[in-house]
Structure 1
Amino acid sequence: MNLTITGHHVEVTPAIREYVNTKLDRVIRHFDNVTSVNVILSVEKLRQKAEVTLHVRGKDIYVESEDGDMYAAIDSMADKLDRQVLKYKGKNHDHGHDTLKHQQPTEL
């Protein structure tokens, strides 16, 4: 898995990089088909914004979050991403596995 963390108008310090890494590890544990993750941290006046694009086989999952504090924005982004990954994983695993409902009854 490739992890890219970039900052727009903000310096990505080792502490922020480690914080993002630990938050994303929690999310990626749910799903092992992640090919790459792009994280963009940006600051515009009083808005702290964190956005992530998670590339999985067949789909890209995009989440963004804004807050007054960068760490709070990263927390919110990780929570939203966790919900999206679980939703995608549920849809992906539930697809087409319910064969008992679709079988025709047999005549005796």
Structure 2
Amino acid sequence: MQLNITGHHIEITPSLSNYIKEKTERLTRHYDQVININVILEVQKLTHKAEASILVSGNHLFAESVEEDMYAAIDSLADKLDRQVLKHKEKITSKHRQEGSHRNIIAE
């Protein structure tokens, strides 16, 4: 998995970078086919925005979160991405099961 972190109007500190790495590790625990994660952190006046795009096998996922605190925005973003990855994984496994059962019906 490749992780790219960029910042607009914000310096990416080592603690911020480590926090993002911890949160994205949860995604790879749930689904090991995560290829690339691009995280963009942005500050506009009093709002902190975190957005990420994930390339997984067979799909491209995107989420964004706007909060008053950057760490809260990253937490919210990680939760959104986690739900999307689990939903993607569920779709893939259900499609494989449907294909297998469909073949068995035709063969009989």
* Equivalences for residues 46-57 of structure 1 within 5 A: 46-57=46-57
AA aligned opposite 2:25: D
RMSD: 1.9
Q: For each residue in 1:8-55, what CA deviation from the matched residue of structure 2 results, as whole angstroms up to 9, or x when unmatched?
A: 000000000000000010122111111111000000111100001111
SS in 1 for 2:97: coil
In the TM superposition, what is the alpha-carbon distance from 1:7 to its structure 2 partner? 0.3
Gaps of 5+ in 2: none
Instruction: Report what 2:82 is aligned to.
Output: 82
* SS of structure 2 residue aligned to 1:11: coil
Task: Give the drift of 1:56.
Answer: 1.0
Percent identical pairs in the alignment equals 49
TM-score w.r.t. length of structure 2: 0.90
- Pick the structure with more helix per residue: 2
Write out the 4+ residue segments of structure 1 that deviate beyond 4 Å after TM superposition: none
CA distance in 1, matches of 2:77, 2:33: 20
CA distance in 1: counterparts of 2:51 and 2:76, whole angstroms = 10
**Counterpart-to-counterpart distance in 2, 1:36 and 1:96:** 24
Size of the aligned set, in residue pairs, is 106
Q: Which letter maps to 2:40? A: I
Cα distance in 1 between the residues matched to 2:8 and 2:55:
21
